[in-house]
A and B are shown apart, each in its own frame.
Chain A
Amino acid sequence: MKQKLVLIGNGMAGVRTLEELLKIAPDAYDVTVFGAEPYVNYNRILLSPMLAGEKTLDDIVLNGPDWYAGHGITLHKGKKVVKIDRRQRLVVAEDGTQAGYDRLLLATGSTPALLSVPGKELDGVIGFRDIHDVERMLSCARQHRHAVVIGGGLLGLEAANGLRKQGMQVTVVHLVDNLMNRQLDAPASQLLQRALEDTGLDFLMQAQTEALLGDTRVRAIRFKDGTELPADLVVMAVGIRPNVELARCAGLHCEKGIVVNDTLQTFDPRVYAVGECVQHRGQLFGLVAPLFEQAKVCANHLAGYGIARYQSTVTATKLKVTGIDLFSAGQFQGGEGYENLLFQDPARGIYKKLVIQDNRIKGAVLYGDTVDGAWYFQLMRDGTDIAALRENLLFGQAHLGDSGHGAESKAVNLPDSAEVCGCNGVCKGDILKAITTHKLFTLDEVRSHTKASASCGSCTGLVEQIISSALGADYSVSTDKKPLCKCTEHTHDEVRQAIRKEGLKTIPAVMALLNWKTPDGCAGCRPALNYYLLSQWPGEYQDDPQSRFINERVHANIQKDGSYSVVPRIWGGLTTPAELRAIADVAEKYQVPTVKITGGQRIDLLGIKKETLPQVWHDLNQAGLMSGHAYGKSLRTVKTCVGKEWCRFGTQESMALGVGLEKMTWGSWTPHKFKMAVSGCPRNCAEATIKDFGVVCVDSGYELHVGGNGGVKVRATDLLCKVDSEEEVHEYCGAFMQVYREEARYLERTAHWIERVGLAYVKQRVVEDEAGRQALFQRFLASQQSAQSDPWAALAEEPAREQFAHLGSVA
């Protein structure tokens, strides 16, 4: 017989836990849900827009009756549970309904705290928590004029904004001098106050409420200093109190909230708790992001996996008041031991503050321009060293040598018709529609439904901004720990560490030790694991072609019609009449439809059928040409200009140097594609400053540049250092490639890797630490021993070429 799971609380945290549970163990439990409110599961975050008249009740429903029925869940709505009998494992509702449980999940949420002042029980005095409260406010707004909101925090301001939009005259009363003092520092809060005053809200700061006046219905509010203010409606938004009575009466240990451990269990291990009712390591919760993370962990434990732990995460806040952009995260106040980076432009109403400690972002407040909120938040969570970015940090990601698409990302101001994802043709409107129709909350969900940011990923930040502007206050960018893929809980770095420390030598061994959730991974993790194993155990690891993307499996680039393109290696872009003749012969013999010169100074033969590939390679091999690896996450090309051999400006022999570098590095597999160039003088005709590794020759030596790329987001290189000789260029190049190969995550270009770890770190490893550099270079050369064999030569002959032909045929 199935185990019985009872959920008390039909809100966001509890139902999210069920959703997570159904995903991983759909048949584990018979589920019964009790909800005190007479509704199905709805999105509490959207109550503010509902109050402001921007959403209806239907818009904010998350799971309708069909969802409960479809999953066989018994829903008792409008039934408040009044008793838990832990001995008999039974819960009892107000009306006598009972349900037995094997596991119990408490998600009783919180109630608005009410000030203990005389008159708090009068009609017209309410908190702001549920649909019922919204309905009361709306009906009040139709009949009355004066509203007072006590509490200038996030919720209070959203309530005030909503009531104003409903036509009421609203005054916000706040105990201290700064609005949203839990999220904003003084300057940002003053900007906010001014902007809200412009919309027509009134503020009474540093005002302490003494009493609410009236006979049956509230009529006015009196302050400590004796002044009074007329009020037909008083909304108290002075904080929330976890609902713990039920748990406390059942003998469960509670402090301010129901105390839970890292697996979200209360002191009775059969009883779990999630959401605003819990207290975890002394902390209470009011925003949605941590609740969702709790839900995931709790579901994992309920499903019997028991491999996840909940660790409190930093969260970011946004305010859902149309027209006001603010963002806050972490240690926004700063203070002793912290540095503040400030940007203030009062005329444009922009204020940005970053709080820094040891070159790492610890907190941020943004007002007026929050485009980079997601980026700062990411840097903060990753603990990225910002030393190299510091100069331009406040100006945002768009100013980091990024002359591509970066600068135009004001998610909120974009029209619905604006194309967000250029790869998949997804507009802002498509994303918003998917979020509302499919009730999406996370980047992953939006990605799989719309394909936005699912291809090259360069629009990820923008998509995240759109999600956060749609979901408002509580959307936190994503969880702090990004698993490698959906098959595992482990991150790239953890997987790599395990391979190294545990001496794992095969893909199945990695999956077994790290509890992969799928039998043999997916198209995301298998190529990553294959690369990590290959780079960790060069010469020893047996490459797994079935875990490689098709291009690397057949050493050619697949095209839209399923044919392939073939690019022979042309060292440094230098060729000979004989080579050109051979390529021309092949192109004619196999009737190659398109012959194209590539950006990397190579010749591309397009439109070759898979079964013809071995013959083409054989012919090219005969003429001394080999695979150009134009298809791989590997060394691609070394582009050169002619240099001093011919050019009247040339300072060094850039062609010879480029050929030398290519001979040294060809065949090496890297986390992502790796391109190089050598320019013979600072005019830089080989465009070395947008390559992963670029050399710019100068009269006195060689400038080495790293971390550039063209592509979606242009990033110019950072100058690594200057060296005197070609030997040094080789050594630094090999060492740089090797650190990148050993430490970057799979599919992370050098540009992103350097932005993550910081240029200072790369300089330290490759430039400052001489012994370390030489060791890296030796490891690079050692791994090249087993890497430099022409895959075309191997595949062009029997028996390997058989795999390119049909298995058989049928009539």
Chain B
Amino acid sequence: MTKPCRVADEQTWSDVGALDAIPRQGSRTVASAVGDIAVFRSVDDQVFALLDRCPHKNGPLSQGIVHGSRVTCPLHSWVIELQSGQAVAPDQGCARQFPVKLEDGRVWLDMAG
């Protein structure tokens, strides 16, 4: 049922900004060659990164309401798992996911692949 999302194979990390610049339960976008990437910060300060396009109708996930480790798309309320990019059942689809990590209050994103 769950198809694995595309994950980068070669890791090249870039510093994209301070964690403090992303609101808790919120998101900011990072411009990239493949389009905007939404970087999310959950209520417990975990960070996640997805391509900023809902698998349903390309809605900007970064603009959704973040709850737990999920986000609700602002266009038609699909719920997407931030960890995997998968839509929550019964909806089906997957937003591309990017490796992301926190170091000394900075957010690092891996764009390889």
Contacts and interface: CB of A to CB of B under 8 A. Distances in A.
A560 interface: yes
A113 interface: no
A775 interface: no
A520 interface: yes
A803 B109 CA distance: 19
Interface residues of A, number: 34
B3 interface: no
B68 A519 contact: yes
Contact of B25 (A546, A550, A554): A546
B67 A562 contact: no
B14 A550 contact: no
B23 A545 contact: yes
Interface in A110-150: none
Given A546-B24, A546-B26, A558-B75, A807 B68 contact: no
A420 B15 CA distance: 49
A394 B65 CA distance: 43
A518 interface: yes
Nearest to B90: A449
Interface string B87-113: 000100000000000000001010100
A523 B65 contact: yes
Contacts, number: 99
Given A454-B77, A520-B43, A545-B23, A811 B68 contact: no
A448 B91 CA distance: 8
The interface centre, meaning the residue of B24, B30, B43, B67 with most chain A CB atoms within 10 A of its CB, is B67
Contact of A803 (B28, B57, B60, B66): B28
Contact of A807 (B17, B24, B33, B90): B17
Nearest to A520: B43
B66 to A, nearest CB: 7
B43 A519 contact: yes
B74 to A, nearest CB: 4
A610 B24 CA distance: 20
A658 interface: no
A347 interface: no
A607 interface: no
B65 A809 contact: no
The interface centre, meaning the residue of A522, A553, A808 with most chain B CB atoms within 10 A of its CB, is A808
Contact of B64 (A519, A547, A550, A560): A550
Interface in A497-527: 518-523, 526-527
A549 interface: yes
Interface string B23-52: 111101111110011010001100000000
A811 B43 contact: no
A810 B67 contact: no
Nearest to B25: A546
A809 B29 CA distance: 8
A786 to B, nearest CB: 22
A606 to B, nearest CB: 16
Given A520-B68, A523-B64, A811 B33 contact: yes
Contacts of B90: 438, 448-449
B63 interface: yes
A806 interface: yes
Contact of B111 (A455, A546, A810): A810
Contacts of A806: 28-31, 36
A449 to B, nearest CB: 5
B5 interface: no
Given A454-B77, A560-B75, A549 B33 contact: no
A276 B29 CA distance: 56
A546 B77 contact: no
A807 B67 contact: no
Contacts of A810: 14, 16, 30-32, 37, 109, 111
A809 B31 contact: yes
A558 B67 contact: no
A545 B25 CA distance: 10
B16 to A, nearest CB: 4
Given A455-B76, A546-B24, A562-B63, 19 more contacts: A448-B90, A449-B90, A455-B77, A519-B68, A522-B67, A523-B79, A546-B25, A558-B75, A560-B57, A561-B58, A562-B60, A803-B28, A807-B16, A807-B17, A807-B29, A807-B107, A808-B30, A809-B16, A810-B14
8 contacts: A523-B77, A527-B65, A546-B24, A550-B65, A802-B21, A807-B16, A808-B15, A810-B111
Interface of A: 438, 448-449, 454-455, 518-523, 526-527, 545-550, 553-554, 558, 560-562, 610, 802-803, 806-811
